[in-house]
Amino acid sequence: MTELALPSRVDLLLRGGTVIDGSGAPRFLADVGVTAGAISFVGEAGRCEARQVLDVQGLVVAPGFIDSHAHDDRAVLADPGMQAKISQGVTTVINGNCGNSLAPFRKGTVPPLPLRDVAPQYQFDNFAAYLDQLQAHPASVNVASLVGHTSLRVCHVRDLGRPATQEEALAMRQAVQAALQAGALGLSTGTFYPPAAAATQEEIVAVGADLARYAGVYATHMRNEGDGVMEAIDESAAIAAALGVPLVVSHHKVMGAANFGRTVQTLDKLRLLSQTQKICQDCYPYTASSSLLRLERLQQCDDIIITSSRTMPDCAGARLSELAVRWNCSREEALGRVMPGTGMYFMMDEADVRRVLADPATIIGSDGISADSYPHPRLWGTFARVLGHYSRELGLFPLEVAVRKMTGATAMAFGLQGRGELRVGHAADITVFDAGSVIDRATYLAPTEPALGIEHVIVNGTAVWASGVPTGARPGHCLRRSDS
Ligand SMILES: [Zn+2]
Q: What pLDDT sits at residue 153?
A: 96
Residue 441, in any domain of the structure? no
Ligand 1: centre distance to CA 53 (Å): 42
CATH number at residue 309: 3.30.1490.130
Cα-to-centroid distance, 273 and ligand 1 (Å)? 22
In the prediction, which pLDDT does 203 show?
98
Give me ligand 1 centre to Cα 334, in Å: 24
Indicate if 307 and 257 belong to the same structural domain.
no
Query: How far apart are the CA of 168 and the centre of ligand 1, in A?
Result: 24
Domain count for the chain: 2
* C-alpha to C-alpha distance for 233 and 455, rounded to whole angstroms: 39
> Is the residue at 481 inside a domain?
no
**Ligand 1 geometric centre to CA of 387 (Å):** 23
pLDDT 10s digits, 179-203: 999 999 999 999 998 899 999 999 9
Predicted structure pTM score:
0.95
Whether residues 169 and 311 share a domain: the answer is no
The confidence score (pLDDT) of residue 450 equals 97
Query: Are residues 388 and 331 located together in one domain of the fold?
Result: no
User: Do both 133 and 151 map to the same domain?
Assistant: yes
Could you tell me the distance, in angstroms and rounded to a whole number, from the CA of residue 252 to the centre of ligand 1? 9
Summarize pLDDT for 224-261 with one digit per residue, the tens: 999 999 999 999 999 999 999 999 999 999 999 999 99
- Backbone dihedral region for residue 183 (phi beyond 0: left; psi -120 to 50: alpha; all else: beta): left
CA of 188 to the centre of ligand 1 (A): 10
**Interval 395-448: pLDDT, tens:** 999 999 999 999 999 999 999 999 999 999 999 999 999 999 999 999 999 999
Q: Which among 412, 431, 455 is the end of a domain?
A: 412
State the distance from the centre of ligand 1 to the C-alpha of 242, rounded, in angstroms: 22
In this structure, are 363 and 252 located in the same domain?
yes
Q: Specify whether 387 is located in the same domain as 314.
A: no
Q: Residue type for 17, please?
A: G
Does residue 5 carry a pLDDT above 70?
no
* 329 and 222 fall within a common domain: no
CA distance linking residue 419 with residue 44, whole number of Å: 22
Residue 439 forms part of a structural domain: no
How far does residue 190's CA lie from ligand 1's centre (Å)? 7
402 vs 414: CA distance, rounded Å: 18
| The predicted structure's pLDDT at residue 441 | 98
- What integer pLDDT is reported at residue 182 of this predicted model? 97
Cα 455 to middle of ligand 1, angstroms: 30
For residues 73 and 183, membership in a common domain is answered with yes
What separation in Å is there between the alpha carbon of 25 and the centre of ligand 1? Answer: 31
My answer on whether 327 and 367 are in the same domain is: no
Q: What is the CA(430)–ligand 1 centre distance, in A?
A: 28
Please indicate, yes or no, if residue 204 is contained in any of the structural domains.
Answer: yes
d(CA 405, CA 85): 16
- 417 found inside a domain: no
In the reported structure, the alpha carbon of residue 71 is separated from the centroid of ligand 1 by a whole-number distance in angstroms of: 9
| Strand (E) or helix (H) holding 304 | strand 304-309
Residue 20 belongs to some domain of the structure: no
User: Which of 447, 301, 439, 433 minimizes the C-alpha distance to 373?
Assistant: 447
pLDDT score for 284:
98
CA of residue 379 to ligand 1 center, whole Å: 13
Mean model confidence pLDDT for the chain: 95
Peptide bond into 138 cis (omega under 30): no
Give the distance (Å) from ligand 1 centre to CA of residue 224.
11
Q: Residue 484 has what pLDDT?
A: 40
Range of the domain at 172: 64-287+348-412
Last residue in a domain, options 412, 430, 461:
412
pLDDT at res. 176: 98
> Is 264 part of any domain?
yes
Quick one: pLDDT band at residue 220, thresholds 50, 70, 90? very high
Q: Give the distance (Å) from ligand 1 centre to CA of residue 141.
A: 22
Q: Do residues 86 and 111 lie in contact, with contact meaning Cβ atoms separated by under 8 Å?
A: no
Q: Is residue 107 part of a domain?
A: yes
Read off the pLDDT band of 296 (50, 70, 90): confident
Cα of 251 from ligand 1 centre, angstroms: 7
242 vs 41: CA distance, rounded Å: 43
Residue 2, pLDDT > 80, answer no
Residues 250 and 386 in one domain: yes
Asked whether residue 13 carries a pLDDT value surpassing 90, the answer given is: yes
| pLDDT interval class at 61 (50, 70, 90) | very high
Q: Are the beta carbons of 342 and 372 closer than 8 angstroms?
A: yes
Between the CA of 221 and the centroid of ligand 1 the distance, in Å, is 5
CATH number for position 216: 3.20.20.140
pLDDT value at 278 more than 50: yes
Residue 98 alpha carbon to ligand 1 centre in Å = 4
254 and 162 within one domain = yes
Q: Does 3 score more than 70 pLDDT?
A: no
Going from the Cα of 443 to the center of ligand 1, the distance in angstroms, rounded, reads 20
Which DSSP state fits 203?
H
Helices (H), 301-430: 320-326, 331-338, 350-358, 378-385, 399-405, 408-414
Centre of ligand 1 from the C-alpha of residue 342, in Å:
12
Q: Over pLDDT 70: what percentage of the chain?
A: 98
pLDDT tens for residues 358-374? Answer: 999 999 999 999 888 88
* Number of residues that this document lists for the chain: 484
For range 164-193, the mean pLDDT: 97
Mean pLDDT of 319-328: 95
CB 122 within 8 A of CB 102: yes
Instruction: Quote the DSSP letter at residue 51.
Output: E
Q: What's the pLDDT at 7?
A: 53
pLDDT at res. 4 = 53
Whole-number Å distance, alpha carbon 38 to ligand 1 midpoint, is 33
Residue pLDDT, tens place only, 23-48: 999 999 999 999 999 999 999 988 98
Measured distance CA(387)–CA(396) in Å, rounded: 10
Q: How do residues 46-59 score in pLDDT, each as one tens digit?
A: 898 999 999 999 99
Residue 445 CA to ligand 1 center (angstroms) comes to 22
The β-bridge relationship of strands 65-67 and 454-459 is unpaired
Residue 26 Cα to ligand 1 middle (Å) = 33
Between CA 166 and CA 137 the distance in angstroms is 38
Going from the Cα of 250 to the center of ligand 1, the distance in angstroms, rounded, reads 6
Q: What's the 366 CA to ligand 1 centre distance in angstroms?
A: 10
How far, in Å, is the centroid of ligand 1 from the Cα of 291? Answer: 8
What pLDDT score was predicted for residue 102? 95
Instruction: Specify whether 269 is located in the same domain as 302.
Output: no
